[in-house]
Amino acid sequence: MIPSRKSYLVVAMATILLGLCSRVFSVVPLFVGDLLYAVLIYFIFRFFFTTQTAVVIAIMSLFFCFAIETLQLVRWNWLLQIRGTAVGRLVLGQDFLFADLIAYTFGVLLAVVFERVVLERSSNGIDKLLK
């Protein structure tokens, strides 16, 4: 069964919470935040493009994450000012790291696996919890 939009929204919000927590606790490696960023992007795209396949959403998510990471090479003043804010730093990042691309790739793969194993198998149960 295909999960509902509500399910994707709940997972996206939980991912935001986990991602913020990963930045608060210093024991969590930094790559976890990048991995969760990609998971979040996947489920946001899933929420908006429900008729697309997981492969299409995964490609869209990777393209978006890679574009944001590549944009970190750009040093325009107005963009640096946005990155200087807390939200700008969380959404746009600060410095390009090749390792982040690897974390994004694993994050999208994790999201696809989570969707297949958890959401699709138990979507009826999750929808009942959300009502």
- 65-88 pLDDT, tens digit each: 999 999 999 999 999 999 999 999
Sequence spans of domains, the chain: 5-64+104-130
The string of pLDDT tens digits covering residues 13-27 is 999 999 999 988 889
Counting Cβ atoms within 10 Å, is residue 66 exposed (0-12), middle (13-18) or buried (19+)?
A: middle
Distance CA 62, CA 85 (A): 24
**What does pTM read for this prediction?**
0.88
Q: Which two tokens stand for residue 83?
A: 């990155």
Q: Which two tokens stand for residue 85?
A: 């804010």
Average pLDDT, rounded, for the chain: 91
Q: What confidence score (pLDDT) does residue 77 get? A: 94
Distance CA 74, CA 106 (A): 25
Counting Cβ atoms within 10 Å, is residue 103 exposed (0-12), middle (13-18) or buried (19+)?
A: buried
